[in-house]
Chain A
Amino acid sequence: MTERIITYAEAIREAIGQAMETDDSVFMLGEDIGIYGGAFGVSADLYHRFGKDRIIDTPISELGIVGAAVGAALVGMKPIVELQFSDFTAQAMDQIVNQAAKIHFMLGGALSVPMVLRAPSGSGTGAAAQHSQSLEAWFAHVPGLKVVMPSSPYEAKGLLLSALDDPNPVIFVEHKLLYKTSGNVPEEQYRIPIGTSNLVREGKDLTIVASGVMVSRSLEAAESLKDSGVDVEVIDIRSLSPFDAGPMNESILKTGKVMLVQEAPNHGGFMSEVAAQIAEGPALYSLTEPVKRLCGLDVPIPYAPQLEKSVVPQLDDIISNALEIHRGS
């Protein structure tokens, strides 16, 4: 089959468009998603294809928008909310955490909230502390939410179509640095199951566990480490909630060494949960080196490019830490 290369943003748009073509209940709500085309250009021409009644431009009103999505979902619609930056989820937290996540449970199963909240996340754009956070651990900590982090265009389309099938609220964490990256994406609809992890590169010496933008960065590091004689296996934990520890544990049983790479701050981050699951799992006693978390520093994201890079794991950081673990201490 011939490859079809499109960007991560295009893959998301294609998934939304295909879902809207096949299901009248799917619609989008968000700030500047209409003629403007979205803060990161994801909705682009969807407004012209589906009209203002299904690609609904909203005022700057995150709590109201997410609340409206919850209400629409309760009565049979499937809203996709686009927030301009994942940081703005803080404005809408009551509706996400106290309402969307809990309604199905609190009401004894009478209703559910099938909605997708798209949250452009992460640093690397010089947008500083209020537009650059990686907040996925907040949501992974709340029972009732599902949390996915697509790491490539292929993943983005497949996970989004699954999220739209899901009868529960799904936080869809997109990384802003990935929007313009390209990859092979089939034109037809396909689904990547939520609640699965993915072995993206086989290797025998060291397991790297990563999500989102850190997957491609780790793959790049792995290629470079090949020259140093280190054969790295990379596991993409694309679904934080529910979480699938299987492929990771299998990998560690083989390699005996693991590094957990995340952009978000170290303290209380999702990789701390991953480390705990390794400790509780079948691979603990096969470890020949301690678990290594390579995470963002415990600081807000700074503005200056050299400062911004200094607080988030970069390619060189992944390589040097991998070498250190490989050599043993």
Chain B
Amino acid sequence: MTSINPLLAPDTGSISEDPASASAALESLLSIRYFEEAVDGLFARGLMHGTMHLSIGQEAVATGVCAALRKTDFITSTHRGHGHCIAKGADLTRMMAELLAKQTGYCRGRGGSMHIADVETGNLGANGIVAGGIPIAAGAALAQKMKGNDNVVVSFFGDGATNEGAFHEAMNLAAIWDLPVVFVCENNKYGMSGSTEFSMRIDQISERAGSYGFPGVTVDGNDVDAVFLAAKTAVERARAGEGPTLIECMTYRHKGHSKSDKNLYRTKEEIEAWKAKDPLGLFQERLVEQGTLVQEQVDVIIEKARNAVRSAITEASEAPDSDPAEILSSVYREAK
């Protein structure tokens, strides 16, 4: 069992100004990064099979948004979902076990990277279908409203999802029913190889909220503080029963779409320019410059995150492989 220290929202101001919140956010950023680098390495060495989508470069979105959530709030995630899982509090060992096709994995080997959910932390699941989770988030939000609680649902999705009908139908339902949902678009500029310039005629995806009658904002998705502050406003609005918000987070994936990607559709210069704006580097520098944490404190968190991922790999590797014997009985839930 290895999960990050829960993310914390500062009482006032931004995350980087509050040592406790900043430490938790840094641990989240680093844990996501190290987890995915480890996964990338395991694939490269042939120790992991299937496919996976890495969010390296996008960690500030998951971290900044989840810092604005309570444990009882829900998220729906995407095929590029490791960061969302970790930031919401999932167990790194069970995640790694799933990717390593182990019986102890979150999905007992049935789902893999694209289908991890964690009921304990309100993670309703990653999704292999682009935009598939967005109407589900609206429905989960409808249920919160019907139950009369003030839980909020966040739906993460990419720029590509906003050209799907499911996105538009869910936005409209959320709007007309004032649902407590926050739509978080991670605009990493590409839906596989298709750039946003190619796939849409608007400048910013946040403009799409206007046609459904609720606020849309665009923020620097590589800046944890900016993401958090936008998420906090949107979550408060949702919790107060005032309806949904669309937050567009401008970010970039350093790695390709998936394992098959040869990066033919983007330039080295573009990739390097975005790497210079790496959310981890930006955040660490800010913390030290502002004096929120000293370098030694940062180093301790770095070491903790590295060790957590190492022990997740060790523990997961020792677990038994997923068992085909139970496969037929896994399709339907038994009636009580």
Residues on A facing B (Cβ under 8 Å): 27, 53-54, 58-59, 61, 63-77, 79, 94-95, 98-99, 103-112, 143-144, 146, 165-168
- Decide yes or no whether B176 CB sits under 8 A from chain A: yes
- Decide yes or no whether B6 CB sits under 8 A from chain A: no
Bound-state Cα–Cα, A70 to B143, Å: 10
B115-157 near A? 1/0 per residue, CB < 8 Å: 1111100001101110010111111111110110000010000
- Decide yes or no whether B58 CB sits under 8 A from chain A: no
Residue in contact with B330 in the complex, picked from A66, A79, A105, CB distance below 8 Å: A105
Q: Known interface pairs A67-B169, A75-B124. Does A106 touch B139 (Cβ–Cβ under 8 Å)?
A: no
- Decide yes or no whether B265 CB sits under 8 A from chain A: no
Residue in contact with A109 in the complex, picked from B132, B166, B333, CB distance below 8 Å: B333
Chain A residues near B147: list those with CB within 8 A: 76
Query: Least Cβ distance of B124 to chain A in Å?
Result: 5
Residue in contact with A108 in the complex, picked from B107, B134, B143, B146, CB distance below 8 Å: B107
Bound-state Cα–Cα, A107 to B135, Å: 18
Residues on B facing A (Cβ under 8 Å): 74, 76, 98, 105-111, 115-119, 124-125, 127-129, 132, 134-144, 146-147, 153, 165-166, 169-170, 172-173, 176, 330-336
**Chain A CB within 10 A, most for which of B117, B141, B176:** B117
- CB <8 Å contact, A110 and B166: no
Bound-state Cα–Cα, A61 to B134, Å: 14
**Chain A CB within 10 A, most for which of B144, B153, B173:** B173
Query: Least Cβ distance of A23 to chain B in Å?
Result: 13
Residue in contact with A72 in the complex, picked from B117, B139, B331, CB distance below 8 Å: B139
Bound-state Cα–Cα, A204 to B169, Å: 54
Q: Known interface pairs A59-B173, A94-B132. Does A107 touch B137 (Cβ–Cβ under 8 Å)?
A: no
Given A106-B125, A144-B331; 17 other pairs, CB 8 A cutoff: A63-B169, A64-B172, A66-B135, A67-B139, A68-B142, A70-B139, A71-B140, A73-B139, A74-B124, A74-B125, A74-B140, A75-B74, A75-B143, A107-B111, A108-B106, A109-B330, A144-B332
Chain B residues near A27: list those with CB within 8 A: 146
- CB <8 Å contact, B173 and A69: no
- CB <8 Å contact, A71 and B166: no
Bound-state Cα–Cα, A66 to B170, Å: 10
Chain B residues near A110: list those with CB within 8 A: 106-107, 117-119
Bound-state Cα–Cα, A259 to B332, Å: 31
- CB <8 Å contact, A74 and B335: no
Top 6 A-B residue pairs of the complex, sorted by shortest distance between their CB atoms: A67-B135, A71-B139, A64-B169, A68-B139, A108-B107, A71-B136
- CB <8 Å contact, A61 and B136: no
- CB <8 Å contact, A75 and B330: no
Residue in contact with A104 in the complex, picked from B109, B129, B140, B333, CB distance below 8 Å: B333
- CB <8 Å contact, B165 and A108: no
Residue in contact with A167 in the complex, picked from B127, B146, B335, CB distance below 8 Å: B335
Query: Least Cβ distance of B70 to chain A in Å?
Result: 15
Bound-state Cα–Cα, A66 to B331, Å: 20
- CB <8 Å contact, A59 and B176: yes
Bound-state Cα–Cα, A230 to B161, Å: 60
- CB <8 Å contact, A166 and B330: no
Residue in contact with B333 in the complex, picked from A68, A143, A167, CB distance below 8 Å: A167
Q: Known interface pairs A67-B135, A74-B136, A99-B136. Does A105 touch B172 (Cβ–Cβ under 8 Å)?
A: no
Bound-state Cα–Cα, A111 to B146, Å: 20
Residue in contact with A107 in the complex, picked from B125, B136, B138, B335, CB distance below 8 Å: B125
Query: Least Cβ distance of A275 to chain B in Å?
Result: 23
- CB <8 Å contact, B333 and A108: no
Chain A residue with Cβ nearest B326 = A109
Chain B residues near A77: list those with CB within 8 A: 143, 146
Chain B residues near A75: list those with CB within 8 A: 74, 124, 140, 143-144
- CB <8 Å contact, A106 and B111: yes
Query: Least Cβ distance of B10 to chain A in Å?
Result: 29
**Chain B CB within 10 A, most for which of A27, A67, A94, A95:** A67
Chain A residues near B332: list those with CB within 8 A: 104, 144, 146, 167-168
Bound-state Cα–Cα, A146 to B332, Å: 9
- CB <8 Å contact, A71 and B143: yes
- CB <8 Å contact, B138 and A167: no
Query: Least Cβ distance of A29 to chain B in Å?
Result: 9
Q: Known interface pairs A63-B165, A146-B332. Does A111 touch B143 (Cβ–Cβ under 8 Å)?
A: no
Bound-state Cα–Cα, A265 to B127, Å: 34
Bound-state Cα–Cα, A79 to B128, Å: 24
Bound-state Cα–Cα, A306 to B153, Å: 53
- CB <8 Å contact, B129 and A98: yes
Q: Known interface pairs A64-B173, A75-B143. Does A94 touch B129 (Cβ–Cβ under 8 Å)?
A: yes
Chain A residues near B140: list those with CB within 8 A: 71-72, 74-75
- CB <8 Å contact, B333 and A94: no
- CB <8 Å contact, A67 and B146: no
Chain B residue with Cβ nearest A113 = B333
- CB <8 Å contact, B105 and A98: no
- CB <8 Å contact, B132 and A108: no
